[in-house]
Amino acid sequence: MEERHRKILQRHRSELVTSLDPSNLYDGLLEKGVFTQDMIDEIQSSGTRRNQARELLRDLESRGSRAFPLFLQCLQETGQHGLAQLLQDGAPTAPLQPAPPRQPPVVRPIVQPLPISSPMDVDKQRKDDVPVRPIQRHSPTHSPSPEQEHIRRQGRTRRDSIQCYKMDASTCGHCLIINNVEFEPGSGLSDRKGSNIDCEKLERRFKMLNFIVAVKTNLKQKHIKRELSVLSKVDHSQYDCCVVVMLSHGAEVSHNRFPGAVYGVDGHHVPVQHITNYLNGQHCPSLQGKPKLFFIQACGGGEKDTGFEVSPDEHEPSITGGEDDQTDAIPMSSSSDSLSNMSDETDARATLPTPSDILVSYSTSPGYVSWRDTLAGSWYVEILDRVLQENAAADDLGSMLMIVNNEVSQNSAKGLYKQMPGSFNFLRKLLYFQTREKIAQ
């Protein structure tokens, strides 16, 4: 929102809180794209009419340059002419340009999980089973751009046809880690022993990658939403990236963007697609065009994957987990073919909208459990942390996540069960993290 409009709202906040009727505005603000349904639900949950008015005005200030004139339109359309005139007298607004017409939905194929490999026994402490193969660099036929020269000076390999995100701010951005360990007795969910190890690893890792890291522990559903809302209202203009890490129990839920859900300690979940909505380009304008990264250590459902046989030529060393391995799934049910007792719907939709500049990395495939060692932490986080440590100075994020996928797929829980991470990657460019080596140059 423009500063002059923000000052008008602040100058007349008392009159607006006293007289504004938010309930009549919600449909118009939703239809015009000022707020999402999740945001409106959160405003409505704030209680009295005055509290809803305060929350609405507070959120309105973060909704971009079109928010103020669209808000005036809604006031006029709902008969609140006195308030509309009060705000218009503060500073005449420029004529509002009509929003571009909505495009018909594009039918896209359902994203299928990657295949997994078979178990083989080997010492779990082996760290160098997967060689990192450099990407072959093709000599350009034209003079390199300054960006290409910058990458070349760092000694990084890259595809010349793909640009890189700007990742050179003095502080790269914010990283929010939500670590749910101790669940309320009424939630029906067990405590997540070993999650603090995951949290400490990722807090240390993202600090080394030059992020401002905030850790929130044992949050209920409403508090998860609140922390994401607070993060979405931060001015990210001076930063290049934003990261959210979710460490909790998870489940399979119906979706039309990103599958899965993450549980609060009260036993109520937040769908992953709602988590990403807080930071997408429409709802967090200062992150438009910048990468938003989500790392989800949680089950995608209740099914356990036993893998499949492969030929001897395809064998790779396998790490076998111990008796301390646990899952981050919701409690199992013996009365149904589904291992989830929450009667969740299946992950099946005909379309997959593509929010730009968002990557969601899952510890496991949709519908399947995610394994966690109570003493060493989760397979996914342990390997993700190590791959970032060893490869972030040279490899882009997409390449590193493929290494993570491959290494996790070699593990076996109790000598039997497998796990296959994966990601929904809607980044438009290559992403190279800042590292100590880069900052020192």
193 & 325 share domain: yes
- Residues 213 and 345 placed together within one structural domain of the fold: yes
Which pLDDT band, with edges at 50, 70 and 90, does 251 fall under?
Answer: confident
**Of 90, 109, 126, which residue is a domain's last?**
90
The answer to whether residue 112 is domain-embedded is no
Is it the case that residue 151 has pLDDT exceeding 50? no
278 and 385 inside one domain:
yes
The residue to which tokens 């972030």 are assigned: 392
Is residue 167 located within the same domain as residue 75?
no
Residue 423 has pLDDT above 90, yes or no: no
Q: How many domains does the chain have?
A: 2
Both tokens assigned to 111: 């994203």
Give the domain-ending residue among 72, 90, 108.
90
Is position 177 within any domain? yes
- 404 and 289 in a common domain: yes
Beta strand 358-362 pairing with 371-373: unpaired
Write the single-letter amino acid at 328: D
Question: Does the structure show a pLDDT above 60 at 438?
Answer: no
Q: What does DSSP say about strands 173-179 and 241-247: parallel, antiparallel, or unpaired?
A: parallel
Cβ pair 417, 400 in contact under 8 A = no
Same domain for 35 and 167, yes or no, is: no
Residue at 99 is within a domain: no
Of 326 and 255, the one with more pLDDT: 255
268 within domain boundaries: yes
Residue 182 and residue 328 in one domain: yes
Which residues are tagged catalytic?
249, 299
Where does a domain end: 48, 72, 90?
90
Statement to judge: residues 280 and 366 lie in one domain: yes
Is 377 within a domain? Answer: yes
Q: CA-to-CA distance for 426 and 424, rounded, in angstroms?
A: 6
pTM of the model: 0.56
pLDDT tens, position by position, 359-374: 999 987 665 666 667 7
Q: Which token pair is 231? A: 């993060």
Based on the fold, state whether residues 73 and 163 are members of the same structural domain: no
Q: Which residue has the higher pLDDT, 146 or 292?
A: 292
Can you tell me the distance from the alpha carbon of 333 to that of 306, in angstroms, rounded to the nearest whole number?
19
> Are 82 and 163 contained in the same domain?
no
Instruction: Measure the CA–CA gap between 214 and 234, rounded to whole angstroms.
Output: 13
Residues 263 and 167 in one domain: yes
**β-strand pairing of 211-217 with 173-179:** parallel
Q: What is the pLDDT of residue 379?
A: 81
Establish if 238 belongs to a structural domain: yes
Average pLDDT of 411-439? 78
Q: CATH number, domain at 8?
A: 1.10.533.10
CATH number reported for the structural domain that contains residue 218 in this entry: 3.40.50.1460
Confidence of residue 162 (pLDDT cuts 50, 70, 90): low
When the pLDDT of each residue in the chain is averaged and rounded to a whole number, the result is 75
pLDDT of residue 336: 28
Closest CA to 230 of 25, 58, 26: 58
Residue in this structure with the two tokens 């129990």, named with its chain if needed: 249
330 lies in some domain: yes
**Are 339 and 371 within 8 A, CB to CB?**
no
Domain ranges, residue 158? 147-440
What confidence tier does 338 reach under pLDDT thresholds 50, 70, 90? very low
Whether residue 180 sits in one domain with residue 33:
no
In a domain, 131, yes or no: no
